[in-house]
Amino acid sequence: MGEFELIRHYFAAAPCAQAGEGVALGIGDDCALLQLPAGEQLAVSTDTLVAGVHFPEAADPFLLGQRAVAVSVSDLAAMGATPIGFTLALTLPSAESAWLAAFARGLEQMAQQCAIRLIGGDTTRGPLSLTLTVFGRVPAGMALTRKGAQVGDLLCVGGELGDAAGALPLVLGQRQADPAVAEPLLARYWSPLPQLELGQALRGKATAALDISDGLLADCAHIAVASGVALLIEQAQVPLSAALQAFAGSETALQCALSGGDDYRLAFTLPAQHLPGLQQAGWPVRVIGRVAAGQGVTLLDEHGQPVQPLHSGYQHFGSSSD
């Protein structure tokens, strides 16, 4: 099967590849054309996922399709943006029909859940890798960024952390667990749902935000640097799921939450007056610390004393994850 036949058969005909709101022209020309409402800005982000680095070489293609869209769209959630479309650059060692069909189904399912449309891309031969560029829209001046945290703000996250990192032994086939424990952990790894609605609800409220991909400590450090403040995290307040604690034990579960990565939950700083309204509206806002004068990220024990974490998070090209 040639490149263009592959694109037409598996991707261009998919429901998520049809024109819709914000997409004036999608797959089939040299460029896609996006239509933004007056007074809105375009949010753009690119993610690359490489076999053996971001997912196992023998990953289920359906699950991989879901994960590829989800982790990319999460960047739009972090900015408070509404999804419009995405492009896919797919590098394949070979064009296997069964693999492509399953991958396309997973891609379609998550794209529908995120209300985002496939608008173009490229295919080529080589080691398996996926590069997705996502496009969203946000009212001018209302995008959430990493810069803006203020001393006295609360430090919050959008739910329980560490499940995806805790699931790695299951993903790699190193351990097994009862389905009641394994299934929720594996779901958090393979199909994390971007917190798009939460991000949009935080517009005009949160002073800084990002999505957690490389670990809570490492990603909070980005907010601290960009905002010129210190972030204090109370380790006893870091939310952990019952499934993760049952599978990994409380100590390992906490390390997964602090430095494991792949959560794709939002972390954000919030003036205290906005907390009751968000919680009463049902948003999963969990307070884990506060913003202080200074720099960097400090982990505190139950007595308010600094704790030295074992790891801070994942870095590409680093000599370690510290």
pLDDT reported for residue 28: 79
Domain final position from 139, 165, 194:
139
pLDDT reported for residue 234: 97
CATH code of the domain in which 254 resides: 3.90.650.10
pLDDT reported for residue 21: 80
Helices (H) then strands (E): counts for the chain: 11, 13
Rounded average pLDDT over 73-81: 98
- Asked if residue 160 and residue 298 are part of one domain, the reply reads yes
Tell me if 282 is assigned to some domain. yes
- Asked if residue 178 and residue 110 are part of one domain, the reply reads no
Tell me if 322 is assigned to some domain. no
Tell me if 273 is assigned to some domain. yes
More confident residue, 312 or 50: 50
Whether 292 and 232 have beta carbons less than 8 Å apart is answered as yes
pLDDT in tens, 281-315: 999 999 999 999 999 999 999 999 999 876 655 54
Tell me if 286 is assigned to some domain. yes
pLDDT reported for residue 320: 39
Mean pLDDT of the chain: 92
Tell me if 164 is assigned to some domain. yes
User: Which three-class secondary structure state does DSSP give residue 13?
Assistant: coil
- Asked if residue 231 and residue 105 are part of one domain, the reply reads no
Residue 322 has pLDDT above 70, yes or no: no
DSSP string covering 32-56:
-EE-PPTTEEEEEEEEEEEBTTTB-
Distance CA 228, CA 293 (A): 8
Tell me if 235 is assigned to some domain. yes
Tell me if 319 is assigned to some domain. no
pLDDT reported for residue 14: 79
- Asked if residue 297 and residue 197 are part of one domain, the reply reads yes
Tell me if 27 is assigned to some domain. yes
Domain final position from 93, 109, 139:
139
- Asked if residue 107 and residue 70 are part of one domain, the reply reads yes
- Asked if residue 297 and residue 163 are part of one domain, the reply reads yes
Neighbour tally for 192: CB within 10 Å: 23
Distance CA 221, CA 237 (A): 18
Distance CA 95, CA 104 (A): 13
Helix or strand run (H / E) with residue 257 = none
- Asked if residue 197 and residue 125 are part of one domain, the reply reads no
pLDDT reported for residue 13: 72
Whether 44 and 144 have beta carbons less than 8 Å apart is answered as no
Residue 18 has pLDDT above 90, yes or no: no
The residue range of the domain holding 231 is 154-307
Rounded average pLDDT over 4-9: 68
Domain final position from 139, 174, 193:
139
Residue holding tokens 């022209």? Answer: 25
- Asked if residue 209 and residue 98 are part of one domain, the reply reads no
- Asked if residue 298 and residue 162 are part of one domain, the reply reads yes
Rounded average pLDDT over 21-27: 86
- How many domains would you assign to the chain? 2
Give the 3-state secondary structure percentages of the chain, helix then strand then coil, rounded to 5.
35, 25, 40
- Asked if residue 285 and residue 181 are part of one domain, the reply reads yes
Gyration radius of the chain's alpha carbons: 20
Q: What is this structure's pTM? A: 0.91
- Asked if residue 287 and residue 167 are part of one domain, the reply reads yes
pLDDT reported for residue 312: 59
pLDDT in tens, 244-283: 999 999 999 999 999 998 999 999 999 999 999 999 999 9
CATH code of the domain in which 81 resides: 3.30.1330.10
- Asked if residue 132 and residue 193 are part of one domain, the reply reads no
Residue 321 has pLDDT above 50, yes or no: no
pLDDT reported for residue 294: 97
